[in-house]
Chains A and B, each alone.
Chain A
Amino acid sequence: MTALAGAVAWVVVGYFTLMHAGYIVLQAIAAARLRRTRGLRDLEHLPPVHAGFEPPVSILLPVRNQAASVAGQVRTLLALEYSELEIVVVVDESTDGTLEALREAFELEPFPEAYWRRLQTRPVRAVYHSRRVPKLRVVDKEHGGRADALNVAINASRHPLFCVIQPGTAMTRESLRAAVAPFVEDPRALVTAWDARLDEAPTALARLQVVEQLRGLYSRIGWSAINAALIVPPAFAVFRKDSVVEAGGYRSGLPSEDVELVLRLHRVMRSRGQDYSIQILPEPACRKPPASSLAELRSRRIEEQWALLESLQANVALAGRRGGPAGMAAFPFILAFECFGPLLELALYAIMAAMFALGLISAAAFGAFLLMVFALGWLASVAAIALEETSFRREAPPSEMPMRVLDAIVENAGYRQLVSYWRARALIGWWRERAAGG
């Protein structure tokens, strides 16, 4: 019995070691990539790109019942600096006067658009053109959800690249140009995305989210360095339109359409044997607010977990040798440590606690296990904080340093387990719904 308990304990220790070591290795890859690319870029002193070669971009903005904020959102997009862009706003059947708000703010008038239905969508009612802002068009359609609205916007867009920005994301005027730059440099570029940093806030909850986000961010940048970024944050992304259309556009009925789309693009491109690149841009060019309460945080994490599960399940064909680094390394890693990870983590903690309670392992062994797990997690978190500091000179004042380290401790001893609990519940809920034929 003791021998069996020992073996189980080693399996548990092995799982946690593999997980945290995996994150630390990904951070090391991210650090190496950042050092190589950012260091050299600054020294190149390249002149600005010839404007005639800059690809035009369509910015897509799906809205529904946002009468109060929609004009402001459009004005923010109009402030972006770029040589040739258009803005396509899709009103997904609003009942609060969103279309009227746009009509008033931008003097819309009906436009006889020869609408190209490349992707199947809910019917379009009308297309409007702004008399005040020639690069703005508004499409009014029947309700079909965000994915459907984005597909309508893709159909109505005229340019070869399109950009989707999540509401609430703050950006600089230069964000778009910087996000398009990889398309100018690399003909294989298919998707580029900024991972929005969280706004610094004085609350403990916000600080813990910052630590959690940085650890995730640098692991994603690590995957991106080997063209295996499966989870692309949807804050600000630029896509090559033809490839998205060939892959079937956005899929409806998912909590996060963007995550599934990127996974599908990986799968489609790999299955065709085409060379491509999906890049997560590391610079802190966008910001978004953290969850302000535990309830909001819980709902966000459950939604993310649900999106991840749906997306992985829909693209399970990516896994395996034919999927390249994305299918051979990233897919199994994310499946083991991010998809089933939360449930496994909690189960393994419970097993170790039970073995300790039954006297199958000593207090010293149990203590050593907890210490090792927290220390490895803390190391991964602190490494992410240090990477952010050294890469982008985002240094906290010296007086806040102990607080940052404390955040990294609390993040691993309490916060992480709470998030795992929510994610595990989401996983169980998802399973139940699937079993019930949902």
Chain B
Amino acid sequence: LLLGLGAARALRRWRAWRLARREGTWREGMLEALRDPTRATLPRIAAPELAAFLALWNAACESQSDAGRDNLAALLRFHDLDRRALRMLRRRSPRLRLIAITAMGHLKEPRAWRALARFAESRAPVISFAAARALLRIDAPGAMELLAHPFAARLDWPLTRIGTLFEQLGPAQVTRPLVDMLAAKPGGGLDRAMQLARFGDRRRIAPLVRNWLSNSATHPDVLVAALEYAGESEDLPWARTAANHEDWRVRAAAARALARIGGRQELPALLDLLRDPVWRVRYRASQALTRLEGLTPIELEALRENARDAFAADMLAQALAEMKLA
């Protein structure tokens, strides 16, 4: 076992040393390609080295602008490595498959479209999400049509990652699919779609969000996300209604929405919420009061002094102290 351990370590070191040497040459070729892909040279890449080369190439692409990526793609095509990367998609190893999928995205390789669409349906989250990213790189509008439903419905695709993708794509690309998602029937990830709504064009998205806000049958999760999105005075009546919702999470979100889009006229509703039996609602209402447009600290202090409810007075005192510290 000791000998085996030593041998394994020696083999690993030798491989790392050999790879480092190869990578040096590959890096030189890639740097040259960034200046002029037609003049860049690469040594012959043997089959066992292809995965390491493509992994390095993927990493290089990630750090480049579109022009740099195009030059690196040209380098691959010039050396016929695009075809070999395409073949690698058929390999069963998740590692090799992931490298190939990512490379297809950077290459914007249309021949990989069908295979990538199939991988995007895979149950493995890493592979399927990588395939979705590759499809978006190849043809963003086409991919958005294909992926709109999974983006909302696939719980194993983290919303944070989708949010980052949507932010990179911009409102021009994501608004239409978001409109489709938000116009769908309840269920199937509507709450997730609502949380992504902020990345779309407000003029087209806001009426759809309002539609869900005004619907008394809307699920609380969707309502909370819709209230976080609400930003126009037309949303105010629905935010006021939500302040009386039976679910405390909706009431807390309503308090924030009222402060964000309302003015002094929301004072009675927020004072009601300040007496809510749930601590978090009272906390949100007190914070909302300190942010309410047109309400001065002196008026807030007077509200605290005159509050008949001890919980409300305590909460306002805390909010005022936080406001002073800020």
- A contact set with B: CB distance below 8 Å: 36, 39-41, 43-50, 52-54, 111-114, 116, 118, 129, 131, 134, 184-187, 379, 382, 386, 389-390, 395, 398, 401-402, 405
Contacts and interface: CB of A to CB of B under 8 A. Distances in A.
A437 to B, nearest CB: 39
B323 to A, nearest CB: 12
B282 A114 contact: yes
A406 B274 CA distance: 67
11 contacts: A41-B126, A45-B102, A50-B163, A53-B160, A111-B318, A112-B321, A114-B279, A134-B325, A134-B326, A382-B5, A389-B9
Nearest to A116: B279
Nearest to B319: A114
B283 A114 contact: yes
B321 A50 contact: no
A44 B98 contact: yes
A184 B168 contact: no
Contacts of B62: 45
B163 A53 contact: yes
B152 interface: no
A36 B127 CA distance: 12
Interface stretch (B30-38, B42-50, B173-181, B309-317): B309-317
B99 interface: yes
A9 B279 CA distance: 63
B315 A114 contact: yes
Contact of A50 (B98, B160, B325): B160
Interface of B: 1-2, 5-6, 8-9, 12, 55, 58-59, 62, 94-95, 98-99, 102, 126, 130, 155, 158-161, 163-164, 167-168, 279, 282-283, 286, 311, 314-315, 317-318, 320-321, 325-326
Given A43-B99, A112-B317, A114-B314, A185 B59 contact: no
B158 A186 contact: yes
Interface centre among A47, A390, A402 (most CB of B within 10 A): A47
A53 B159 contact: yes
Nearest to A110: B321
Given A45-B62, A112-B317, A113-B318, A401 B163 contact: no
A332 to B, nearest CB: 30
Contacts of A187: 155
A297 B98 CA distance: 46
Contacts of B315: 114
Given A39-B95, A52-B163, A47 B326 contact: no
Contact of A405 (B2, B98, B102): B2
A109 B159 CA distance: 40
Contacts of B98: 40, 43-44
Contacts of B55: 43
A401 B102 contact: no
B59 A49 contact: no
Contact of B58 (A45, A53, A116): A45
Given A45-B62, A114-B283, A134-B326, A40 B94 contact: yes
B54 to A, nearest CB: 10
Contacts of B279: 114, 116, 118
For the complex of A and B, list the 4 residue pairs with the smallest distance between their C-beta atoms, beginning with the closest. A53-B160, A114-B314, A112-B317, A50-B163
Contacts of A48: 164
A220 to B, nearest CB: 23
A114 B317 contact: yes
A187 B130 CA distance: 19
B294 to A, nearest CB: 24
Contacts of B5: 382, 386, 401, 405
Contacts of B99: 43
A131 B326 CA distance: 10
Given A113-B318, A390-B12, A43 B160 contact: no
A45 B58 CA distance: 8
Contact of A49 (B6, B161, B283, B286): B161
Nearest to A47: B164
Contacts of A134: 325-326
Contacts of A395: 9
A129 B323 CA distance: 13
A306 to B, nearest CB: 35
A388 to B, nearest CB: 12
A50 B164 contact: yes
Contacts of B164: 46-50, 53
Given A50-B164, A112-B318, A390-B12, A40 B2 contact: no
Contact of A40 (B95, B167, B286, B325): B95
Nearest to B317: A112
Given A45-B58, A112-B318, A114-B283, A129 B94 contact: no
A118 B8 CA distance: 54
B1 A111 contact: no
A47 B162 CA distance: 11
Q: Which of B9, B99, B102, B317: most chain A Cβ within 10 A?
A: B9
Given A46-B164, A131-B325, 11 more contacts: A40-B126, A45-B102, A47-B164, A49-B161, A53-B159, A112-B320, A116-B283, A184-B160, A382-B1, A390-B8, A402-B2
Contacts of B59: 45
Contact of A114 (B58, B126, B167, B318): B318
Contacts of A402: 2
B291 to A, nearest CB: 16
A336 to B, nearest CB: 27
A390 B98 CA distance: 22
